[in-house]
Chain A
């Protein structure tokens, strides 16, 4: 027993100060991409050509980048001859609707909080059932990590529960494989209304690397209505947490910006 207490002292207090304090993120984090179209040579589409999921498109209307498809891989940055595209360490990526994730000429719109009635229902206690529907265990792992002492999800009243009957909504990962479609529908139906659906990761939003495969459904949106989309492959746990807190109205637009950068 004494050893357990000594170990407890050795391991220290580890819960992060986020969201009151800015998160500490890796300096090489590939967060929200930024494109300086002024640097793009005429008719150049090298970035679009190398993009594994065709997240980047170039046409007469200009260059657009779909964060819902983006794997945040370094291929476009490596390929661009002009350095016009780069990843910032901006971790805030969650959106309320699919089109908001398409970066182009308009300002990026972060996820909005639920309406007042829903916030009253879910704001202080949100129980989620997680469904992995073809996920690679990357998103699953970085959702799971929110339960550790580092993120301590419970302090926000959010908890993952073992039955859809106990849940206020679903958090779905994976492109929704054909073999999981029925299970996802049944789980959704088993959650009492009103209910929320949160899609985490490129797969759940668009199909990710598996877009177009006949074995899957290009994401959750075609199966059940989605209230919150959190892009990434996988999204950093802070990105996921930021999204959940935004949905519950626990962050205002300026809060939780990534000011504290240190390597790692």
Chain B
């Protein structure tokens, strides 16, 4: 947490150079966003009004050192884009252009990402008329020309029970030369609604930013608020939060491996894992009554304690599910047809993954040691370490294998924690939030790094609240994984990333 007074805007050139050179030297862009802050010392002004200068903020991580840097600058109607010198800024600069109606000049791929009007009335980075409705997915896609070249268009409504998104493939025969992903269908205006909070809707917003990551998101939010309030969460609550976060990872990783098996037609593992995923969800429900952990994590701690009967029951169920999931997944590795399909599909090289700034399973499966739990630990992870699960081949197998390693380590972690569950309360009052401050909160959700940046005003309310879902970094990784692949392998590649639509669209 830093006082905004200690974070004066620097000159734009300095801002740009600092980011470009830091990223070249191995740093990573966790967040790059715009905000219009109320003038300092003007409490009571309407927090939702958006007039004034646009300020850009950047959060940079040095993963190996475990340090974060925050910098900011002021920009006018346009500025020289960072993306040509820093591909990690690509998606962020499209977001800034769309939200604030400024133009990052020289951006090679400047298209909307969510298809909504700018937050500042009358400003539009594409000078679109205010009279004409903005249609999602209506944009000039990159195209390829030539004999027998064809285009395949998929979505927004998909064949299965999944969220909406649009995928446009440029193909020659079966082979995909380029995939462009156009999202925004799930945009429900959460970030803007968070301004002026926290209020009674803040927690439901957080728990549904990506509903399959309820614990991850609620935790990132609560840790941000607790830092602003100077609140120390009781040890028992910290441990139970981590148990819930690992259960969330277990459920999703198990479901993902099952779905990968299903996509190559290996039905035993697909069916077993589909069921075992539910067993993990039911363990979360054992703690708090809801399979996704709704209602569990709150600022200052948690709302449901684990009594002794429940602790024993959870251990028992975890042991059984652990045996079942090993049985189901080891079967998958023994099928040569599965291995050869997984091995030869959807490769993202380490260099590409570094350049794009991938996070989570996708990064670790391309050989990048990147895990918030190890490098920026908070709560119980400061004392109880989980080894980073790494594999180097960058393909579908690698992403499945990293999940499998993480499943085993999460189970071991929960067992350890259940044995040494600290005594004491599970919640403490939080108190008011510090005024005119900025806080960065990182959580390793099951998809990867969740980054929240909260900026408070003079009254200690949110002047701006930035949410970066791991998918925000990783959708481009999926697009590149599809290059030179058979279009029929799209479902398999897609599932191996399993990115969030609503977490991206916000």
What residues make up the interface of A, taking CB atoms closer than 8 Å to B? 3-4, 7-8, 10-11, 14, 26, 28-30, 49-53, 71-75, 78, 87, 129-145, 147-150, 160, 162-164, 174-175, 177-180, 182-183, 187, 208-210, 213-216, 233-234, 236, 263-264
- Do B211 and A216 have beta carbons less than 8 Å apart? no
In-complex Cβ contact of A52 among B159, B204, B310, B328 (8 A): B204
- With A and B bound together, what is the CA distance between A174 and B161 in angstroms? 13
A–B Cβ pairs within 8 angstroms, 11 of them: A3-B331, A4-B268, A11-B272, A29-B290, A52-B200, A140-B161, A177-B185, A187-B157, A213-B188, A264-B286, A264-B313
Q: Is B189 an interface position by the 8 A CB rule?
A: yes
- With A and B bound together, what is the CA distance between A174 and B186 in angstroms? 9
Identify the 3 closest CB pairs spanning chains A and B, nearest first.
Answer: A138-B211, A136-B211, A28-B289
- Do A134 and B502 have beta carbons less than 8 Å apart? yes
- With A and B bound together, what is the CA distance between A145 and B286 in angstroms? 18
In-complex Cβ contact of B282 among A72, A174, A264 (8 A): A264
CB contacts (< 8 Å) of A72 on chain B: these are 290, 294-295
Q: Which residue of B lies closest to A148 (CB)?
A: B274
- Do A26 and B328 have beta carbons less than 8 Å apart? no
- Do B285 and A183 have beta carbons less than 8 Å apart? no
- Do B331 and A213 have beta carbons less than 8 Å apart? no
Given contacts A72-B294, A136-B210, 17 further A-B contacts (CB under 8 A): A11-B275, A28-B288, A131-B164, A132-B186, A137-B163, A137-B210, A137-B211, A138-B294, A145-B278, A147-B161, A160-B161, A177-B187, A183-B157, A208-B204, A208-B208, A210-B188, A264-B285
- Do A138 and B292 have beta carbons less than 8 Å apart? yes
Q: Is B247 an interface position by the 8 A CB rule?
A: no
Q: Is B214 an interface position by the 8 A CB rule?
A: yes
Q: Is B201 an interface position by the 8 A CB rule?
A: yes
Q: Total contacts A to B, CB within 8 angstroms?
A: 193
- Do B187 and A163 have beta carbons less than 8 Å apart? no
Q: Which residue of A lies closest to B156 (CB)?
A: A183
- Do A73 and B163 have beta carbons less than 8 Å apart? no
- Do A131 and B157 have beta carbons less than 8 Å apart? yes
CB contacts (< 8 Å) of A234 on chain B: these are 211, 292
Q: Is B115 an interface position by the 8 A CB rule?
A: yes
- Contacts A28-B286, A30-B290, A160-B160 given; does A137 touch B212 at CB 8 Å: yes
- Do B189 and A29 have beta carbons less than 8 Å apart? no
CB contacts (< 8 Å) of A134 on chain B: these are 185-188, 502
CB contacts (< 8 Å) of B184 on chain A: these are 179
- Do B164 and A133 have beta carbons less than 8 Å apart? yes
- With A and B bound together, what is the CA distance between A130 and B290 in angstroms? 23
- Do A73 and B204 have beta carbons less than 8 Å apart? yes
- With A and B bound together, what is the CA distance between A61 and B405 in angstroms? 58
CB contacts (< 8 Å) of B290 on chain A: these are 29-30, 72
- Contacts A135-B211, A215-B116 given; does A140 touch B334 at CB 8 Å: no
CB contacts (< 8 Å) of B271 on chain A: these are 148-149
- With A and B bound together, what is the CA distance between A60 and B327 in angstroms? 60
Q: Which residue of A lies closest to B189 (CB)?
A: A215
- Do B201 and A209 have beta carbons less than 8 Å apart? yes
- With A and B bound together, what is the CA distance between A175 and B277 in angstroms? 26
- Do A143 and B200 have beta carbons less than 8 Å apart? no
- With A and B bound together, what is the CA distance between A148 and B324 in angstroms? 16
Residues 218-277 (chain B) with a chain A CB within 8 angstroms: 268, 271-272, 274-275, 277
Q: Is B485 an interface position by the 8 A CB rule?
A: no
Give the distance to chain B from A186, nearest Cβ to Cβ, in Å: 8
Identify the interface centre among B190, B193, B208, B212: most chain A CB within 10 Å of its CB: B208
- Contacts A28-B289, A29-B285, A133-B164 given; does A149 touch B274 at CB 8 Å: yes
